[in-house]
Structure 1
């Protein structure tokens, strides 16, 4: 799918789009299945949260004077469900990050693969990719947390009228310094998921490998990833423009300027949308599907380009092209 030699920009994009075209079923099948599991788990988590506090909810909405004691079980249940869903989202996102390198591993050598093989291999490397994600978030969180602590401290000093005149400017300059630092960290560790999958490396080893491979090629990596992200964003925006014009329009004549809208939200919603109500639900479902497809395509493209840049750096520095050529010749 790619020339086993240093890759130019055209070869990187040609390899990414060729992989999407040839392995679409395996690539998007695994990614779609992962997102479906996440959606089902999220619905189940919030359904269980609601069932666990259903009686408390009825007591709260019928109470003349709601109290914190009535609302606290509901708040705790929602927070627990939200935390569970966020943890599951982190796990599934790590799985999605492992899918593209697994598919590209076969595509580079021109080998066929199956959905089941991609699914098993991606889940097997998900713990390592998850570790990479957590360590990356932790490294990024340190400067970001420092900035927010200084910002909050400044606000406290301003409230107490004890802040020096130069403090806001210093915090602003610190923010300008932190943004490049965060960007540098993200790009420096952008190859870590690929290393975790293709080299079966642990999280720390994968981060070190990414840092070494990106060093000396940071600006090239940054530029191509930025261009790819921009292409994905613009393409997604163009695809979704027709949906903006196809949205059912509410009827603003349902109520006069002096009419009181009904207290029931469902009745108000029905009156405003009228005959377009059934079309509204169709529009919402279509919007969700289109958004999901766009996100899958964007995620796959960015991850494939990142993995191809990782392979390119290994070809340039470690002679990986010769090893791949020998592997392709012995298939």
Structure 2
């Protein structure tokens, strides 16, 4: 075992060869009944070790860059645990279970499993339900009210399709189409702003919930408001980047099709679209942790994207799986609420579902839009905390695995035996003040 602080066993001699740290070293022989002099701690042994019973070495998690060097041996009653993790041998005593990890808040301070990330997001909602649901309901109610008003006043009603040879009807259809596109752009912008505010505030709530500290809506707003303009820039830049990737993939096929080569152009459009989709998914996962990095590390747009790329590197498939699972849960909750709300809207408004689907309904009334809006407010109030919480906890999990953020969080939470908290950590109580890995 390499001679690095925190990984060599107590009393072992320095060695650069693997599996040599625990071998017996030649020395003077003593009689069985002769007392053995206490050996001093070798200079290579780390002086700062986690306290007994508050941190355990996760099985199968290797040390990276020295950040996890304290996982090699854990002080425990009856001896020292070796680097084998759960059930490993103990020096100076018998077999003893590894003590559980410290859990000051909604997650244990160690690398997390998928279930623990999802449970942490749900536990945040349970532990701080007034703050979480208050933020989600306020943001969802205000944004959905604006969307309902824009949809009722701006978007045109459904009209029967015009005849192909009818000039005035065709011009009216074009005007309605342009009006519908403009209204959709406005509603999309409102939804984007709502997501921005909810994500920023709920990320700060999750960061305090990890430390087991109380948080109010005013606290979350105070922590998040300075970064909201940058978060807006990130949420605007990200869709533009994905749109540019899709445009680059489709452009050759569109150009070839417009030049007269229909069959090759269509084939190139399909292939380019598929390639653009794959690249877009790869980029979406690569930069999926940029939002919590921006909020918790107080970084800029480009710096937060670089941090996300660094944290995701080597764990792309894992991050994709967790984000996809969270997306499916959010979609399931939305469908459970929105489908009954839509059916109720048709019943209350007196519209025929078949007429609406065929596009022959005269208009969409205010009653219909209001009932749909109420369903959207309820679903958003439940899904905002899940999506924001999973992303924030996944970011913290990646930092725990790569940068030993669990020790910084333990100090910030005020756990005994972890040393003095870094300057500013005790005051804010969030992972904001932890130093990002280089």
Shorter chain as normaliser: what TM range?
Answer: 0.7 to 0.9
The one of the two structures with greater contact order (alpha-carbon pairs below 8 A, sep at least 6) is 1
In the alignment, is residue 117 of structure 1 matched against residue 222 of structure 2?
no
Q: C-alpha root-mean-square deviation of aligned residues, in Å?
A: 3.8
What count of residue pairs does the alignment treat as equivalent? Answer: 290
What is the deviation of 1:18? Answer: 0.2
Give the corresponding residue for 2:347.
Answer: 248
Please say which structure displays the higher CA radius of gyration. Answer: 2
Give the corresponding residue for 1:38.
Answer: 143
Give the corresponding residue for 1:262.
Answer: none
Give the corresponding residue for 1:314.
Answer: 399
Give the corresponding residue for 1:102.
Answer: 204
Q: Distance in 1 between matches of 2:270 and 2:148?
A: 41
Cα contact 2:131–2:217 (8 A) shared by 1: yes
Q: Distance in 2 between matches of 1:35 and 1:16?
A: 19
Give the corresponding residue for 1:233.
Answer: 331
Q: 1:248 to 1:6 in 2, by over 3 A?
A: same
Query: SS in structure 2 opposite 1:190?
Result: coil
Q: Distance in 2 between matches of 1:35 and 1:244?
A: 18
Query: Structure 1: which 5+ runs fail to align?
Result: 51-64, 253-264, 270-276
Give the corresponding residue for 2:413.
Answer: 328
Give the corresponding residue for 2:289.
Answer: 191
Give deviations 1:185-228, integer Å, cap 9, x for gaps: 11111101100111111111111000100111110000111111
Give deviations 1:106-156, integer Å, cap 9, x for gaps: 100010011112223333221121121122223212211223433432442
Query: SS in structure 2 opposite 1:299?
Result: helix
Give deviations 1:8-39, integer Å, cap 9, x for gaps: 11211110100011222212322332334435
Cα contact 1:30–1:118 (8 A) shared by 2: no
Q: Distance in 2 between matches of 1:296 and 1:46?
A: 21
Give the corresponding residue for 2:385.
Answer: 300
Query: SS in structure 1 opposite 2:413?
Result: helix
Cα contact 2:136–2:382 (8 A) shared by 1: no
Query: Structure 2: which 5+ runs fail to align?
Result: 1-105, 156-166, 353-361, 416-425, 427-438
Q: 1:144 to 1:17 in 2, by over 3 A?
A: same
Query: SS in structure 2 opposite 1:329?
Result: coil
Q: Distance in 2 between matches of 1:5 and 1:295?
A: 31
In the alignment, is residue 136 of structure 1 matched against residue 221 of structure 2?
no
Runs of 4+ in structure 1 deviating by more than 6 angstroms, as ranges, are: 43-50, 72-82
Query: SS in structure 1 opposite 2:347?
Result: coil
Q: Distance in 2 between matches of 1:284 and 1:224?
A: 34
In the alignment, is residue 182 of structure 1 matched against residue 280 of structure 2?
yes
Give the corresponding residue for 1:7.
Answer: 112
Q: Distance in 1 between matches of 2:214 and 2:387?
A: 22
Give deviations 1:226-255, integer Å, cap 9, x for gaps: 111112212332344544665528599xxx
Q: 1:155 to 1:226 in 2, by over 3 A?
A: same
TM-score for the superposition, normalised by structure 1: 0.73
